[in-house]
Amino acid sequence: MTKPDPPQPADREGTLRSRSFVGLVLTQFLGTFNDNMLRWLVVPIGQQIPNLGEAGSLALGGICFTVPYLLLAPAAGSLADRHSKRDVIVGCKVAELAIMLLGIATILTGNIWSLFAIVMLMGAQSALFSPAKFGSLPEMLDLHHLSKGNGVMGLATVVSSALGTVAGYGLYSLTQPDIAKGVTMATFWPAAAALLGMAIAGLAMSLLIGREPAGNPTRKMTINPITETIPALKLLWSDGPLWRAALGVAFFWSMASLAQLNIDRYGGESLGLQPMWIGVLLFVLVVGVGSGSVLAGYWSAGRVELGLVPLGAIGIAISSFLLFAAGNWIDGATDVSTREGFLLSSLILLVLGVSAGLFNVPLDSYLQSRSDIRTRGTILAGSNFVAFAFILLSCALFWFLHDFLHLTPAQIFMVAGLGTIPVVIDAFRVLPDITMRFLFWLSSRTIYKVRVVGDENLPEQGGALLVANHVSFMDGVLLMGLSTRIIRFLVWGDYSNMFGLRWLSKTMRVIPIKSTDGPKAIVHSLRTAKEALMEGELVCIFAEGQITRTGQMQAFQPGLMRIVSGTGCPVIPVYLHGLWGSIFSFKGGKFFWKRPRKWPYPVTVVFGEPIAEPESASQVRQAVEHLGVKAMEYEKPNQVIPVRQFIRQCKRTKSKVKFADSSGLETTGARSLIGALAFKRVLERNVFTKDEDTVGLLLPPSVGGALANLAVSLSGRITANLNYTLNDEVLNYCVRAAGIKHVLTSRRFLEKRPCHITDAEVVYLEDLKEQVTGADKAAAALCTYAMPASALERSLGLHRVDPDDVCTIIFTSGSTGEPKGVMLTHANVGSNLNAIEELLSPPPDESVMGVLPFFHSFGYTVTLWFPACSMATGVYHYNPLEARMVGKLSQKYKVTMLFATPTFLKTYTKRITPEQFSHLNLAIVGAEKMPLSVAKAFEEKFGFEPTEGYGTTELSPVAAVNLPPSRCLNTVQSGCKLGTVGRVLPGCSAKVVNPDTHEDRGLNTEGLLMIKGPNVMKGYLNQEDKTAEVIHDGWYNTGDIALIDDEGFIKITGRQSRFSKIGGEMVPHLLVEQELMRIVDSPNSENGSDEMPALSVAVTAVPDERKGERLIVLHRKLSKPVEQILKEL
């Protein structure tokens, strides 16, 4: 006959707030309270029996309450398995009400001996209740909440036990029942009302519990304690882990019983305390157990955390030895010593209780979750039998130690500590890896504030290969603590053999690997990892092969494919975000010797969906990269928006130059904040209306332009820097499209670049400067020097600004020439700033040359907000073509960082001296392809290599960058590859797709470049249709044709609009242009001038009847004949 399938639980919420769980906790609390209230009401009454005495009454009461647990274990298990556990619980509550009525009647009749029978009946009711109670927890809670549920139940149990004990003694003192004189309801009614009231309340609470199907309805009912207890114990014994867990639970209850009996003697004999203070000691222990139970539930982090067991056992042992020491140190004859002993012992008992809670809760949870639902009642009943047998043994042990060997209470605690040592040893022997995993979890949660996303993708059983990016030395510790299963890591061989780590490596069964040991050793390590997968284990590899030194994810080594190939096991991609910059990373070229920026340090770990059969290591790398985008999404709500960063940075750098320009104007951090705040006050008082959201600015890159932008942002409004190179008609179109009411500009600027704004009111900075009052300056200075940054931000209302709110609108020409307003949010701009800070590690003396206009997204984000939000100084000149002035400013302010176009760079190479660029160590270009000849000429003159980046206005603007070798602090890893635009920024992802079908084309294949990340714009202003055309599921269509190589470097091969289909083949105009320029151009070419740098050639297409299209070349005066050029081409 086959066993029936285990019943499926009814639909349930599965959380600690579910009605069933709340009802069960309240039922447990009220029932335990009533048990103890009756027990400790009966014990002092029992002391009225002649020749029984206090000790005899205590012992008899304990035996009467405990024996039913031993005798009724089979019946309790049968009831819990055969019937719905809710029905058993309600039935026990009905029985409790009947027992209370019988107990009250017994006291009123004066039959003292019968009272101990009543205590036995209460014990019987509790014994029948226990398996149903604990067995229902895994039915009403999901596994994620089971440990916390046991912690809450543990807290409810110990608190109600303590309160019930106090209530029992209190009721005895209040009613003073004297059996010899007779007890009447007139004096005993408070006790009767309390007992019956608690029983009725418990019954009512039990009705809140939802009914689940019986675990094994076909099981026969058994009540014979002899014939059925042995099979239950055999069933428990047959499962080694469950048997050890049951012994652990029994050890807990025996220690609890021993401590309860011993504390009464310890307080009186060792500490010389009065009975009231002895009760306080017991209460402290109870509080400790309850706190430890809740703490165990929290530390279990949604799983059954057996790693807590050894930790709890160690705490029990140490606390017991400390109680022995305290008991011998105290002289109960002196008040000072007694007071100190009481405080010290209370503290130790609190630790003892917490340790006991940590020890017990995981074992209870393990018994519940690990046992088969069909035999769970039997398993728990068998466990109860063992536990209460140990309790009886502990009572006998206490009598033997105290009355026979005449040990002091302090010495009894020492015996308890010695008895715990084997438990500690066995726990470490059985659970070494689980214990270390928990310690890893505890240490990582102490250092980091961890957000976990997608942990449901970790398989509960079976093999899987975890592949993660490698950011710091804590990566493995962090991942080990997040998994409910043991993970085997591939670790660099030198680390696993280091002194102090060899034992840990052996315990955690790490797989050492070292490239210098030769191919055979590497193959052996990979084979070991593969075998572990085949055996159903979790294996983790950091496929980059080493910790990143640049902050970028490096190429993945192909060894991971040898591990997973042919195993049928999935690859789980994992992305670790936020660890770069922690003390355990290599940011700044230093490991560990850095000051922590935050504590605990915020970290996000994202587990991706399993990849069944990855085609290559590069595919896995791309999957890990995609997870970085998800990590950034979760970080966004906690992001500090740029304008708030500006306030904080100005307060840190009050005396350092923040902005400077070619007019000779300089402002420090303090003066910049004062100026922006004063400017804001004037604008809000005299210019802005309450419903004005967007403010136009028509200003060149300058100190005034920077402060005007910052003042508008401080007011919580949107900036719109207008392109002053456009004609007046287009300029006014932009004003109307953005709903601009006021445009801030300067008379001095308009004299050089006349613009006629007709659709908004023009406001001149020169006029506003005159309107700044002394009160404005004083208020701004007070906010700058006296007001905390957080208070200033709140007073400005900046704490209410959502990172997804629009920060600026930047107009860019569309394919038809009609300007499109790109809406960039605070999160967009902030993500670029964070990436610059992460990748370039700017030093405190950083200085940025700002020649790009603020209406350009690069100028706005990088040259305005980067110095505003960092230690860097922003140095501005309004005309990027005036190379000589750029050189002078660079020399004066020791400029270290330059962002430009290749065309500008070519001009600077010609016109600027090496002395003027002597401090420059970083030059990043974009907007157009940088010819290798330009890069080589720049490097020969200035001593370092310029690099390329990539971006668009819609990407805020930076999406990818080559890390300059001058900023790489090591030669082991390269963040730069000539001919590419670099790797995507951290938290961003790139892919190439078929331009027609948008099907993913993978790596090393040309396709349409798509970018996803926190830098992708919110959309086009008032053009949802055009937004939908370029953003698909968060991916931005760049319109560029590119390929991504195995290392993640992106190579732009052309624009989608600059391809011609000739004879069925796609021909990129850009590549033809580059080859022609290589032939006809050179760094020393005189094409163009400082005022007008120019390209030599341009390629476009015209229709062709035979081939569809044909290429034509537009050119300036050529250095070679056309025939020679064609020959070389």
Segment 751-764 mean pLDDT? 92
Q: How far apart (Å, rounded) are the C-alpha atoms in residues 259 and 441?
A: 31
Question: What domain range includes position 756?
Answer: 639-836
What are the tens digits of pLDDT across the range 635-692?
A: 888 889 999 999 999 999 999 999 999 999 999 999 999 999 999 999 999 999 999 9
CB under 8 Å to 24, separation ≥6 — which residues?
Answer: 89, 133, 136, 137, 140, 153, 209
DSSP codes, 184-195? -HHHHHHHHHHH
- pLDDT confidence bin for 374, thresholds 50/70/90: confident
Burial of 599 (0-12, 13-18, 19+ CB in 10 A): exposed
pTM of the model: 0.75
Q: Do 643 and 516 belong to one domain?
A: no
Domain count of the chain?
5
Looking at residue 854, its pLDDT comes to 95
Q: How far apart are CA 333 and CA 339, in angstroms?
A: 11
Q: Give 316's DSSP letter.
A: H
Same domain, 287 and 369: yes
Picking from 255-264, 327-336, 426-435, which range would have the lowest pLDDT averaged per residue?
A: 327-336
Task: Check residue 5 and give its pLDDT.
Answer: 44
Which of 637, 670, 705 is the last residue before a domain boundary? Answer: 637
Q: What is the pLDDT of residue 1083?
A: 47
- Say if strands 806-813 and 819-825 run parallel, antiparallel, or are unpaired: antiparallel
3-state class (DSSP) for residue 961? strand
Tokens representing 679? 């400017």
More confident residue, 1001 or 707: 707
Model confidence at 1061: pLDDT above 60: no
778 and 719 within one domain: yes
**Between 53-71 and 225-238, two packed helices, what is the crossing angle to 10 degrees?**
70
Which of 383, 418, 453 is the last residue before a domain boundary?
A: 418
pLDDT value at 1020 more than 80 = yes
923 pLDDT higher than 90: yes
pLDDT of residue 90: 92
Q: What is the mean pLDDT of residues 422-448?
A: 79
Distance CA 466, CA 607 (A): 9
pLDDT at 3: 42
Is residue 97 located within the same domain as residue 3? yes
Strand ranges for 406-555 from DSSP E: 448-453, 464-468, 487-492, 511-513, 538-541
CA 876 – CA 853 distance, rounded (Å): 9
Residue 687: per-residue pLDDT: 94
Rounded Cα distance, 315 and 74, in Å: 34
Q: Are residues 399 and 450 in the same domain?
A: no
b/e map 332-361, b = 16+ CB within 10 Å: beeeeebebbbebbbebbbbbbbbbbbbbb
Of 76-85, 413-422, 911-920, the one with minimum mean pLDDT is 76-85
Write the Ramachandran bin of 309: left for phi over 0, alpha for psi from -120 to 50, otherwise beta: alpha
| Listed residue (827, 786, 783) closest to 807, CA to CA | 827
**Residues whose CB is less than 8 angstroms from the CB of residue 65 and which lie 6 or more positions away in sequence, other chains included:** 35, 39, 119, 120, 122, 123, 126
Instruction: Check pLDDT > 80 for residue 167.
Output: yes
Amino acid at 1085: S
Q: Taking all residues of the chain, what is their mean pLDDT, rounded to a whole number?
A: 85
Q: What is the DSSP string of 782-814?
A: HHHHTS-HHHHHHHTTGGG--TTSEEEEEEEE-
Nearest to 171 by CA among 149, 189, 157: 189
Task: Show which of 617, 637, 657 is a domain's final residue.
Answer: 637
Quote the pLDDT of residue 590. 67
CA atoms within 13 A on the CB side of 417: 17
- Residue 1008, φ and ψ in degrees, nearest 5: -75, 125
Confidence of residue 337 (pLDDT cuts 50, 70, 90): low
Are residues 613 and 649 both part of a single domain? no
Tally Cβ neighbours within 10 Å of residue 396.
Answer: 11
Query: Which CATH number belongs to the domain containing residue 374 in this structure?
Result: 1.20.1250.20
Q: Does 740 score more than 80 pLDDT?
A: yes
Lowest average pLDDT, out of 163-167, 315-319, 416-420, goes to: 163-167
User: What values do phi and psi take at 966, rounded to 5?
Assistant: -65, -20
Which residues, in sequence order, are bridge partners of residue 513?
492
* DSSP symbol at 921: -
105 and 132 inside one domain: yes
Q: Specify if 333 maps to a domain.
A: yes
CB 1021 within 8 A of CB 814: no
- Output the pLDDT for position 105: 87
Instruction: Identify which of 673, 679, 560 has the alpha carbon closest to the alpha carbon of residue 615.
Output: 560
Residue 716 in domain: yes
Asked whether the predicted pLDDT for residue 223 surpasses 80, the reply is no
Q: How many CA atoms lie within 13 A of 209 on its CB side?
A: 31
Burial class (CB in 10 A: 0-12, 13-18, 19+), 169: middle
Q: Are residues 449 and 567 in the same domain?
A: yes
pLDDT digits (tens, 9 = 90+) for 1082-1118: 544 445 444 444 567 888 877 766 666 788 888 888 7
Which residues are CB-neighbours of 216 under 8 A, at least 6 positions away? Answer: 4, 81, 82, 373, 374, 375, 377
DSSP codes, 755-770: ----SSEEEEHHHHHH
pLDDT value for 11: 40
Given a cut of 70, is residue 563 above it in pLDDT?
yes
Cα(545)–Cα(488) distance, integer angstroms: 16
pLDDT for 444 equals: 76
Amino acid 969: pLDDT: 57
Segment 553-573 mean pLDDT: 91
Pick the residue with more confidence: 301 or 357? Answer: 357
**Residue written as tokens 């005449």?**
406
pLDDT band of residue 47 (cuts 50, 70, 90) is low
Question: For residue 57, what pLDDT is reported?
Answer: 63
**Domain assignment present for 882:** no
* Domain match, 628 and 699 both: no
Number of H helices, E strands in the chain: 38, 32
Cα–Cα distance measured from residue 1026 to residue 495, given in angstroms and rounded to the nearest whole number: 54
Is residue 958 a part of any domain in this protein?
no
Residue 244 lies in a domain: yes
Angstrom CA distances, 1037 to 235, 238, 1007, 1043, 1128, stand at 63, 62, 11, 14, 36
669 and 776 assigned to the same domain:
yes
Q: Which has the closest alpha carbon to 454: 634, 637, 612, 299? A: 634
CA distance 230 to 74: 9
Task: Assign 3-class secondary structure to 1014-1050.
Answer: CCCCCEECCCHHHHHHHEECCEEEEEEEEEECCCCCE
The dihedral built from the CA positions of residue 494, 498, 501 and 507, taken in this order, carries a sign that is positive
Record the tokens describing residue 706, joined without a space: 């920077």
Residue 623 and residue 743 in one domain: no
Does residue 240 lie within any of the structural domains?
Answer: yes
> How much of the chain, in percent, has pLDDT values that exceed 90?
39
DSSP-assigned beta bridge partners for residue 540? 466, 489
Quote the pLDDT of residue 297.
81
600 and 700 within one domain: no
Distance CA 363, CA 653 (A): 55
Which CATH number do you get for residue 792?
3.40.50.12780
Helix (H, G, I), strand (E, B) or coil at 511: strand
Is the pLDDT at 720 greater than 90? The verdict is yes
Does residue 233 form part of some domain? yes
> For the sheet containing 958-961, what is the strand order?
666-668, 657-661, 873-876, 847-850, 897-900, 922-925, 947-951, 958-961, 983-984
Q: CA–CA separation, 835 vs 394, rounded Å?
A: 63
Asked if 1036 contacts 1017 with a C-beta cutoff of 8 angstroms, the reply is yes
Q: Is the pLDDT of residue 333 over 80?
A: no
- Least Cα distance to 896 among 870, 881, 875 occurs for 875
Buried b or exposed e, range 235-261, using 16+ CB within 10 angstroms: bbeebeebbbbbbbbbbbbbbbbbbbb
Mean local confidence (pLDDT), 35-58: 71
pLDDT at 1094: 55
Cβ neighbours for 93, distance < 8 A, ≥ 6 positions apart:
27, 31, 199, 202, 203, 206
- Structure confidence at residue 54 as a pLDDT band (50, 70, 90): low
Name which residue leads in pLDDT, 1053 or 75.
Answer: 1053
The answer to the question of residue 319 being in a domain is: yes
On whether the CB atoms of residues 957 and 922 are closer than 8 A, the answer is: no
